[in-house]
């Protein structure tokens, strides 16, 4: 994947239609498998969660995903990373997370995220150095050391 081709723009309310489509395409299957309730209200609630940190992932100016990341003095937290199905398994998510990990290494702070227990992305996170530090009924909470 060409590094220069990926860019980000701050998400706005005008992106809600795309974000709702993206959420349905990338998460509904996982929610159903996990036994979670799926409806438009729940999907919009997750879209709006930490919306102030939301960035649209663009590949050659085309919307292909969502990234929500926040940072404090002590940690970086990836709240959401979603890549449209047609762009998955092409190294895009890995590339984005690796750049976040580089930043955290420079600042000497860990990166945290959560992942549904049935989501295969946890393998990617483990391969990138994340380890489980806690869990609940649905999710693993992971961080780097």
The residue-averaged pLDDT of 60-87 equals 96
Position with higher pLDDT, 129 vs 34: 129
Instruction: Give the pLDDT confidence score for residue 145 in this predicted structure.
Output: 87
- Mean pLDDT taken over the chain: 92
The residue-averaged pLDDT of 132-144 equals 96
Phi, psi for residue 139 in degrees, rounded to 5: -130, 155
Dihedral of alpha carbons 125, 126, 128, 129, sign: positive
Residue 34 has pLDDT above 90, yes or no: no
Q: How confident is the model at residue 11 (pLDDT cuts 50, 70, 90)?
A: very high
Please report, for the chain, the start and end positions of each structural domain, with discontinuous segments joined by +: 3-143
Residue 39 has pLDDT above 90, yes or no: no
User: Residues of the chain with pLDDT > 70: what percent?
Assistant: 97
Position with higher pLDDT, 9 vs 36: 9
Instruction: Give the pLDDT confidence score for residue 1 in this predicted structure.
Output: 53
At residue 112's C-alpha, the angle toward residues 137 and 71, to 5°, is 135
DSSP E strands in 4-110: the ranges are: 6-10, 54-59, 62-71, 76-83
Shortest CA distance to 40 belongs to which of 20, 62, 67, 13?
Answer: 20
Instruction: Give the pLDDT confidence score for residue 84 in this predicted structure.
Output: 96
Q: For the whole model, what pTM was predicted?
A: 0.88
Name the CATH topology of 3-143: Aminopeptidase (3.40.630)
Q: How confident is the model at residue 66 (pLDDT cuts 50, 70, 90)?
A: very high
Shortest CA distance to 55 belongs to which of 114, 12, 14?
Answer: 12
């Amino acid at each position: 994947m060409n590094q220069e081709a990926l860019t980000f723009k701050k998400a706005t309310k005008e992106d809600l239609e795309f974000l709702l489509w993206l959420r349905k395409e990338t998460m509904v299957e996982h929610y159903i498998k996990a036994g979670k309730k799926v409806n438009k209200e729940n999907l919009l609630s997750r879209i709006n969660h930490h919306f102030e940190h939301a960035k649209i992932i663009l590949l050659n100016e085309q919307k292909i995903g969502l990234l929500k990341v926040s940072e404090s003095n002590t940690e970086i937290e990836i709240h959401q990373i979603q890549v449209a199905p047609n762009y998955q398994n092409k190294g895009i998510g890995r590339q984005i997370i690796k750049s976040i990990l580089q930043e955290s290494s420079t600042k000497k702070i860990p990166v945290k995220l959560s992942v549904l227990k049935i989501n295969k992305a946890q393998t990617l996170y483990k391969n990138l150095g994340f380890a489980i530090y806690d869990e609940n009924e649905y999710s693993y909470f992971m961080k780097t050391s």
